[in-house]
């Protein structure tokens, strides 16, 4: 019985224990029970939960040295590349570069990353694993800036297959140089290239190729540019040679762009054409309408100057002429010639009327005329009245050409038809005199018809090469770089030969590009390959084939390298796309080659006293920051041959005359003496751009101010705006030139030319002020003298009226023939057309006393005569002296 009771008690305890293990349903907390997984959704075992299944042990990353390439010591490893261009972000004519966003993919095989797999599926990892394995060190040659996108995480993909094949992809934006030719701008087509190359590995270590030939390059369907039409993309490849490091495989992404012409037709060519046509309107305007024609001419000249300035503001300062320059400057010359055309017309009109005045002086005084009228037929009269006045019957219709080309200057009509004596007296003088209102030059200047102008308007490698490989030496623990180079056995925080003599470090440089020269900031930007050569016996290793070993940038952080920096640099950086552009090559005897690709912006003290006819010399200075000459001896490895330059280096504004190297010691009072190396280069500025955009417009403005000397001195509304406009235009040119220059404390050569030109223009305004003032003084004296002469027809207030009606009353002295006389007895260059008005019923004597007259004159002052010679002669002399000194 006790035994049975004990058994029941044990079973009861077991039941309680089982019930306590079951999950309880919480009614009041609202917590939901998780549904049990269905047997249909059976999951594979999550290998990441197993200690031995973590990604690194699975790929055996820790068992190999990934600072060395796959199959180290064997033939070159083939790396296939394909690219998908996502967008062409911008094309800059001023900076001569383009910006492109692309997906860059690499394909290679690394047996060190092989892993066992039953499903034979690839494994995808994020960018953190990339830093632990070997990846190709591809970089963009001639790139200015580049970066790998990192939002929301690094845009990097690493996909590894079981047999060790790797797909490595990145999303990159790169800004690269493109040497554009603008000789046909804006009717041009541009071809640019993006160049890919391995930084450290020559063609003996890494063979870079397009994975699928031309099919390796894909483009997004939505790629478009506002200013260009993308004609085609294609790929090429070739070998590139560097004298210091060897041969490298280089891949090219080439694309051709054709510029859209419609924008320039609408914004440049059409306005320029309209300005030229507008200047032709002057040929149909009365040749005596001086203010109208001069204002029209200078307005079109200023508008053309504005169009030319606007076009060149968005273009680089190239040393050759562009197609748009030819069109705009030829249009400018046409507009300028229309102004000169009217100056010739006005001057020849003055000469013609002077001859007519001399002929008219042979007739007796016309103060005794009974009734005469002088009127101007300028198009505001009725057709029948004009015909009757001209002697035509009222039914006769004047042709359009006769109406435009004729002007009635003098018309005398007698009211007393019975005075035979007076008829005889006025015979040959009374009637309608029709003068030509349009000069022959205006007739020939008008376009006779419409003119029409005619405008005219790879290497492929389709499959991966099959190469026989030697065994992968990196699988052996003895071939790890740390162990092979015995890095852990030494303290690399100290220089080689510590405590002994100075270690010699040779340097050579290859200048890849001169990106920019800034006059305002007084600096330059240069991209270069900086290579160091030294010997560190701590890095020597045994080798049977005596070949060097190439490592990536990760090993650089573990060994000693020279601490070079750029003296007087403002900004500098080492390129890091797609990896750090760093190369470390070690030879068995411990000799080291260390190379970096650097872009540096450094100071350049420029002298602008001869600008823009100047030559500038700049220097990039290299020096050790910590080690004095007692510890480190810095020198050019091959003298002047240590400096190489890319054959495609060019600047839009400068001609690169020479590169050369120098070296000297630099002293710091606190630290001592240091070796300093200099990269010196001399630049000579292209003058053609400034001739076209500065000197030529300034010269034209000075010549335009001389037009005033050939215009009638009483045409105040014409001559004053002409002078003021040229002064303002010269001020605009001076302001535009100085806006792109630093505020230096000395005068520049261009300042001398522009300010002397400004003085010439300003003096032409003062010249007319003097002419106008002396004319007023002279006429005041003539009025007082005229009151004493008998042949004044008894008129107390004579009036002088210009033919165009643009000036007020004035007085003058007249002789018996109605001509003005100056004080000295000389006859001024003026033409007078007389108008007498009298009453029919008055006696001849009273008629002559009560008659009035109008003097219509075209005057040329003596100052104007001398200015026509003195101003051009002085300006030509100035140009001869200027160009002989500064050229």
Confidence of residue 738 (pLDDT cuts 50, 70, 90): confident
| Distance in angstroms (rounded) separating the CA atoms of residues 664 and 675 | 6
**What pLDDT shows up at residue 219?**
93
pLDDT at residue 508 greater than cutoff 70? yes
| 3-state helix/strand/coil string of 536-600 | CHHHCCCCCCCCCEEECHHHHHHCCCCCEEEECEEEEEECCCECCCEEEEECCCCEEEEEEEEEE
pLDDT tens string 856-878: 444 567 898 899 999 999 999 99
Instruction: Give the other-Cβ count within 10 Å of 23's Cβ.
Output: 6
**What pLDDT shows up at residue 11?**
75
> Strand, helix or coil at 99?
strand
**What pLDDT shows up at residue 432?**
42
pLDDT tens string 125-147: 888 889 889 999 999 999 999 99
Q: Name beta bridge partners: 139.
A: 197, 578
**Which letter does DSSP use for residue 823 in this model?**
T
**What pLDDT shows up at residue 195?**
96
Q: Tokens 């033919």, residue?
A: 803
Least confident range from 168-182, 302-316, 462-476: namely: 462-476
Least confident range from 17-26, 374-383, 615-624: namely: 374-383
Average pLDDT over residues 481-493: 76
Asked if 700 and 337 touch (Cβ cutoff 8 Å), the reply is no
Confidence of residue 739 (pLDDT cuts 50, 70, 90): confident
SS3 content of the chain, % helix, strand, coil (to 5): 35, 25, 40
Confidence of residue 503 (pLDDT cuts 50, 70, 90): very high
H-assigned helices in 711-826: 716-739, 749-786
Confidence of residue 711 (pLDDT cuts 50, 70, 90): confident
**What pLDDT shows up at residue 4?**
66
pLDDT tens string 196-250: 999 999 999 999 999 998 899 999 888 989 899 999 999 999 999 998 899 999 9
Q: Tokens 């002057």, residue?
A: 282
Asked if 854 and 374 touch (Cβ cutoff 8 Å), the reply is yes
**What pLDDT shows up at residue 235?**
96
Q: Name beta bridge partners: 172.
A: 102, 148
Q: Give the H or E element holding residue 845.
A: helix 844-850
Average pLDDT over residues 304-318: 87
Q: Give the H or E element holding residue 871.
A: helix 862-886
Asked if 537 and 496 touch (Cβ cutoff 8 Å), the reply is yes
Phi (first) and psi of residue 68, to 5 degrees: -105, 150
**What pLDDT shows up at residue 66?**
87
**What pLDDT shows up at residue 483?**
61
Among 94, 594, 70, residue whose Cα is nearest residue 313:
94
Sequence-distant (≥ 6) Cβ neighbours of residue 200 within 8 angstroms? 137, 550, 551, 552, 582, 583, 584, 585, 595
H-assigned helices in 799-841: none
Confidence of residue 23 (pLDDT cuts 50, 70, 90): low
**What pLDDT shows up at residue 801?**
41
| Distance in angstroms (rounded) separating the CA atoms of residues 838 and 849 | 9
**What pLDDT shows up at residue 607?**
93
> Strand, helix or coil at 73?
coil
Q: How far is CA 202 from the centre of its chain?
A: 38
| Distance in angstroms (rounded) separating the CA atoms of residues 739 and 46 | 68
- Dihedral (Cα; 687, 688, 694, 699), 10-degree rounding: 110
pLDDT tens string 316-328: 888 889 999 999 9
Asked if 43 and 158 touch (Cβ cutoff 8 Å), the reply is no
Q: What percent of the chain has pLDDT over 70?
A: 74
pLDDT at residue 842 greater than cutoff 70? no
Phi (first) and psi of residue 630, to 5 degrees: -75, -20
Tell me the HSE value of 44 on the side-chain side, using a 13 A CA sphere: 5
| Distance in angstroms (rounded) separating the CA atoms of residues 322 and 310 | 15
Average pLDDT over residues 771-797: 75
Tell me the HSE value of 529 on the side-chain side, using a 13 A CA sphere: 25
Q: Which long-range contacts (CB under 8 A, 24 or more apart) does 21-26 make?
A: none
**What pLDDT shows up at residue 57?**
62
Q: Which long-range contacts (CB under 8 A, 24 or more apart) does 356-361 make?
A: 356/831, 357/819, 357/830, 357/831, 357/832, 360/817, 361/817, 361/819
Confidence of residue 482 (pLDDT cuts 50, 70, 90): low
H-assigned helices in 251-322: 262-264, 270-280, 290-313
583: alpha, beta or left? (left if phi > 0; alpha if psi -120 to 50)? beta
Q: What is the chain's mean pLDDT, rounded?
A: 79
Between 546 and 722, whose confidence is greater? Answer: 722
Confidence of residue 452 (pLDDT cuts 50, 70, 90): very low
Q: Where do the DSSP E strands lie in 49-96?
A: 77-92
Phi (first) and psi of residue 138, to 5 degrees: -75, 135
Write the CA distances from 616 to 71, 290, 607, 610, 691, integer angstroms: 51, 50, 7, 10, 19
H-assigned helices in 666-715: 688-690, 696-706
Tell me the HSE value of 35 on the side-chain side, using a 13 A CA sphere: 4
Asked if 526 and 511 touch (Cβ cutoff 8 Å), the reply is yes
Among 770, 779, 753, 782, residue whose Cα is nearest residue 709:
770
pLDDT at residue 573 greater than cutoff 70? yes
Asked if 320 and 185 touch (Cβ cutoff 8 Å), the reply is no
pLDDT at residue 601 greater than cutoff 90? yes
Sequence-distant (≥ 6) Cβ neighbours of residue 680 within 8 angstroms? 617, 618, 619, 659, 660, 661, 662
| Distance in angstroms (rounded) separating the CA atoms of residues 863 and 764 | 11
790: buried, middle or exposed (CB in 10 Å: 19+, 13-18, 0-12)? exposed
Sequence-distant (≥ 6) Cβ neighbours of residue 100 within 8 angstroms? 85, 87, 88, 89, 173, 174, 176, 194
Average pLDDT over residues 498-517: 93
pLDDT tens string 627-660: 999 999 999 999 889 999 988 888 888 999 999 9
pLDDT at residue 821 greater than cutoff 60? no
The full DSSP string for 595-647 is EEEEEEEEE-----TTTTS-EEEEEEEEEESS--TTTEEEEETTGGGGEEE-T
Confidence of residue 457 (pLDDT cuts 50, 70, 90): very low
Instruction: Give the other-Cβ count within 10 Å of 338's Cβ.
Output: 22
> Strand, helix or coil at 136?
coil
Confidence of residue 437 (pLDDT cuts 50, 70, 90): low
- Both tokens of 686, joined, read 């292209």
pLDDT tens string 76-86: 999 999 999 99
**What pLDDT shows up at residue 572?**
95
> Strand, helix or coil at 117?
coil
| Distance in angstroms (rounded) separating the CA atoms of residues 472 and 474 | 5
| Distance in angstroms (rounded) separating the CA atoms of residues 291 and 696 | 26
pLDDT tens string 750-759: 999 999 999 9
Measured CA angle at 573 (ends 572, 577), to 5 deg: 155
pLDDT tens string 271-284: 999 999 999 998 88
Q: Tokens 């109008």, residue?
A: 854
- Both tokens of 578, joined, read 């797609």
Phi (first) and psi of residue 773, to 5 degrees: -70, -45
| Distance in angstroms (rounded) separating the CA atoms of residues 882 and 756 | 11
pLDDT at residue 266 greater than cutoff 80? yes
Phi (first) and psi of residue 878, to 5 degrees: -60, -45
Write the CA distances from 444 to 280, 332, 437, 447, integer angstroms: 11, 20, 14, 8
| Distance in angstroms (rounded) separating the CA atoms of residues 672 and 291 | 76
For strand 77-92 and strand 217-219, is the pairing parallel, antiparallel, or unpaired?
parallel
Measured CA angle at 645 (ends 640, 649), to 5 deg: 145
Residues in the chain: 887
Instruction: Give the other-Cβ count within 10 Å of 798's Cβ.
Output: 20
Q: Name beta bridge partners: 532.
A: 507, 594
Confidence of residue 546 (pLDDT cuts 50, 70, 90): confident
Asked if 750 and 690 touch (Cβ cutoff 8 Å), the reply is yes
Q: Where do the DSSP E strands lie in 766-853?
A: 799-800
């Amino acid at each position: 019985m006790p035994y049975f009771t004990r058994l029941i008690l044990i079973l009861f305890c077991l039941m309680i224990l089982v019930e306590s293990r079951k999950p309880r349903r919480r009614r009041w907390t609202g917590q939901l029970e998780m549904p049990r997984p269905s047997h249909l959704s059976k999951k594979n075992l999550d290998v990441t939960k197993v200690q031995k299944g973590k990604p690194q042990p699975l790929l055996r990353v820790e068992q190999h040295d990934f600072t060395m390439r796959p199959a180290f010591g064997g033939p070159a490893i083939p790396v296939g590349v394909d690219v998908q261009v996502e967008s062409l972000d911008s094309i800059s004519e001023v900076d001569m570069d383009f910006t492109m966003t692309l997906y860059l993919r690499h394909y290679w095989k690394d047996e060190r990353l092989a892993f066992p797999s039953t499903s034979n599926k690839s494994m995808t990892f994020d960018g953190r694993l990339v830093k632990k394995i070997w990846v190709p060190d591809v970089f963009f040659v001639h790139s200015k800036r580049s970066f790998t996108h990192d939002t929301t995480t690094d845009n990097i993909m690493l996909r590894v297959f079981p047999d060790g094949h790797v797909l490595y992809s990145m999303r990159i934006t790169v800004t690269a140089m493109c040497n554009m030719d603008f000789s046909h701008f804006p009717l041009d087509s541009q071809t640019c290239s993006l160049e890919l190359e391995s930084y450290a590995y020559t063609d003996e270590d890494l063979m870079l190729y397009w994975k699928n030939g031309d099919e390796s390059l894909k483009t997004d369907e939505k790629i478009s540019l506002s200013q260009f039409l993308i004609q085609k993309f294609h790929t090429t490849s070739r070998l590139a040679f560097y004298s210091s490091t060897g041969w490298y495989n280089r891949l090219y992404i080439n694309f051709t762009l054709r510029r859209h012409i419609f924008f320039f037709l609408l914004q440049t060519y059409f306005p320029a054409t309209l300005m030229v046509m507008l200047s032709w309107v002057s040929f149909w305007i009365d040749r005596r309408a001086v203010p109208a024609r001069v204002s029209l001419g200078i307005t079109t000249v200023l508008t053309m100057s504005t169009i030319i300035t606007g076009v060149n503001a968005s273009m680089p300062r190239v040393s050759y002429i562009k197609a748009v320059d030819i069109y705009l400057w030829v249009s400018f010359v046409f507009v300028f010639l229309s102004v000169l055309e009217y100056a010739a017309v006005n001057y020849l009109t003055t000469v013609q009327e002077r001859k007519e005045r001399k002929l008219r002086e042979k007739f007796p005084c016309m103060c005794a005329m009974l009734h005469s009228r002088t009127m101007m037929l300028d198009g505001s009269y009725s057709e029948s009245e004009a015909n009757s006045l001209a002697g035509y019957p009222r039914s006769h219709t004047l042709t359009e050409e006769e109406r435009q080309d004729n002007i009635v200057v003098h018309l005398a009509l007698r009211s007393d038809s019975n005075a035979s004596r007076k008829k005889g007296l006025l015979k040959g003088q009374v009637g309608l005199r029709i003068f030509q209102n349009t000069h022959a030059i205006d007739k020939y200047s008008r376009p006779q018809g419409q003119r029409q102008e005619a405008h005219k308007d790879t290497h492929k490698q389709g499959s991966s090469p099959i190469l026989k490989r030697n065994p992968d030496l990196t699988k052996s623990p003895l071939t790890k770089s740390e162990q092979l180079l015995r890095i852990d056995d030494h303290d690399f925080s100290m220089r080689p030969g510590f405590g002994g003599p100075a270690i010699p470090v040779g340097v050579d440089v290859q200048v890849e590009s001169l990106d920019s020269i800034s006059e305002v900031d007084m600096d330059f930007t240069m991209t270069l390959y900086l290579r160091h050569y030294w010997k560190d016996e701590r890095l020597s290793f045994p080798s049977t084939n005596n070949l060097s070993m190439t490592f990536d940038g990760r090993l650089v952080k573990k060994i000693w390298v020279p601490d070079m920096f750029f003296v007087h640099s403002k900004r500098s950086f080492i390129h890091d796309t797609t990896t750090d552009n760093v190369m470390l090559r070690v030879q068995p005897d411990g000799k080291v080659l260390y190379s970096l690709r650097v872009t540096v912006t450094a100071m350049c003290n420029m002298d602008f006293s001869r600008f823009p006819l100047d030559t500038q010399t700049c220097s990039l200075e290299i020096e050790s920051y910590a080690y004095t000459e007692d510890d480190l001896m810095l020198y050019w490895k091959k003298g002047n041959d240590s400096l190489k330059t890319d054959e495609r280096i060019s600047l839009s504004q400068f001609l690169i005359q020479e590169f050369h190297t120098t070296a000297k010691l630099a002293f710091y009072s606190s630290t001592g003496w240091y070796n300093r190396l200099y990269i010196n280069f001399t630049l000579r500025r292209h003058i053609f751009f400034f001739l076209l955009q500065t000197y030529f417009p300034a010269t034209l403005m000075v010549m335009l101010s001389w037009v005033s000397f050939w215009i009638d001195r009483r045409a105040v509304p014409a001559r004053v705006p002409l002078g003021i406009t040229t002064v303002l235009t010269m001020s605009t040119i001076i302001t535009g030139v100085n806006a792109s220059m630093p505020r230096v404390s000395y005068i520049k050569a261009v300042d001398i030319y522009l300010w002397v030109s400004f003085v010439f223009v300003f003096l032409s305004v003062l010249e007319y002020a003097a002419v106008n003032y002396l004319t007023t003084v002279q006429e005041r004296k003539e009025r007082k003298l005229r009151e004493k002469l008998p042949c004044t027809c008894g008129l107390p207030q004579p009036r002088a009226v210009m033919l165009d009606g643009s000036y007020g009353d004035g007085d003058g002295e007249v002789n018996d023939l109605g001509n003005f006389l100056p004080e000295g007895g000389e006859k001024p260059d003026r033409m007078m057309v007389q108008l007498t008005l009298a009453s029919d019923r008055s006696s001849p004597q009273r008629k002559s006393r009560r008659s009035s007259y109008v003097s219509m004159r075209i005057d040329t002052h003596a100052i104007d005569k001398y200015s026509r010679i003195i101003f051009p002669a002085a300006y030509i002399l100035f140009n001869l002296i200027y160009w002989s000194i500064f050229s």
